[in-house]
Structure 1
Amino acid sequence: MAFAVVAHYRCAPADAATARDALLKARAGSRGEPANLAYEVHEVVGEPGGFVLYEQYVDEGGFEAHKAAPHFQELVVGVVWPLLIERTVTFAEVL
Structure 2
Amino acid sequence: MSEGFGLVVRFTLRDVQAAAAFDALCARTLEGIKSSEPGTLAYVTHIPEGEPLVRLFYELYADRGAFDTHESQPHTKHFLAEREQYLAAVEVTFLDAISGKVATRK
Q: Considering the TM-score relative to the shorter chain, is it more than 0.5?
A: yes
Distance, in Å, in 1 between the alignment partners of 2:90 and 2:48 is 14
1:19 is matched with which residue? 22
Q: How does 1:14-53 map to 2 (within 5 A)?
A: 14-32=17-35, 33-53=37-57
Residue in 2 that maps onto 1:4:
6
Which of the pair has more CA radius of gyration? 2
TM-score, length of structure 2 as denominator length: 0.80
Q: How many residues align?
A: 94
* Runs of 4+ off more than 6 Å: none
CA RMSD of aligned residues (A): 1.3
Q: 1:69 aligns with which of 68, 73, 97?
A: 73
- TM-score after normalising by structure 1: 0.88
Query: Could you say which structure has the higher strand fraction?
Result: 1
| SS in structure 1 of the partner of residue 52 of structure 2 | coil
Q: CA deviation at 1:29?
A: 1.7
